[in-house]
Amino acid sequence: MASSNLPRRIIKETQRLLSEPAPGISASPAEENMRYFNVMILGPAQSPYEGGVFKLELFLPEEYPMAPPKVRFLTKIYHPNIDKLGRICLDILKDKWSPALQIRTVLLSIQALLSAPNPDDPLSEDVAKHWKANESEAVETAKEWTRLYATGE
């Protein structure tokens, strides 16, 4: 494990993530690169993503924590703030980032985003349009996708 020149902060954060994981979230660093995390988020209860297991990747750039981590969904998901490539529209990942935030807070925010999609600040125009025009139908599609892509293999 090449952790020799890893900042203390990243080591501490990693230790805490492993020893006291947040409910519904797991994040573990890759063997070969301690800045790269394999993340899993469980679809929150009462959301269209309930029952799904969503894989994400999280990377801590050189400037971290002055710059935010880079996070992306690997599992296909039907959500107005997440695009086809899995990129996430979340303020704290962009201009609202603060170095006092952590990996844990970021992942909790993403989990919350699954519970509360915001079609008014869309990343995926089509999905957002669908969401606004016919929410129950859009929710059905999201459930369908969850079943198709986020359960089992």
Binding residues vs other proteins (CB under 8 A): 7-9, 12-13, 63, 65-67, 92, 95-96, 98-101, 105
Minimum CB separation from other proteins for residue 86, in Å? 24
Minimum CB separation from other proteins for residue 131, in Å? 28
Inter-residue contact 107 to 22 (CB < 8 Å):
yes
Phi-psi sector, 51: left (phi>0), alpha (psi -120 to 50), beta: left
Output 78 or 97, the one with its CB closest to other proteins.
97
Phi, psi of 76 (to 5 degrees): -60, 135
| CA quadruple 51, 151, 68, 29: dihedral, nearest 10 | 110
Output 10 or 53, the one with its CB closest to other proteins.
10
Minimum CB separation from other proteins for residue 100, in Å? 4
Minimum CB separation from other proteins for residue 111, in Å? 17
Output 68 or 80, the one with its CB closest to other proteins.
68
Catalytic annotation present for 89: yes
**Considering 89, 90, 93, 107, which one is annotated as catalytic?**
89
CA atoms within 13 A on the CB side of 120: 1
Output 32 or 95, the one with its CB closest to other proteins.
95
CA 41-94-89 angle, to 5 degrees, is 50
Q: Dig out the tokens for 25 from the structure.
A: 């979230």
Q: Dig out the tokens for 16 from the structure.
A: 């805490």
Residues annotated catalytic, as ranges: 89
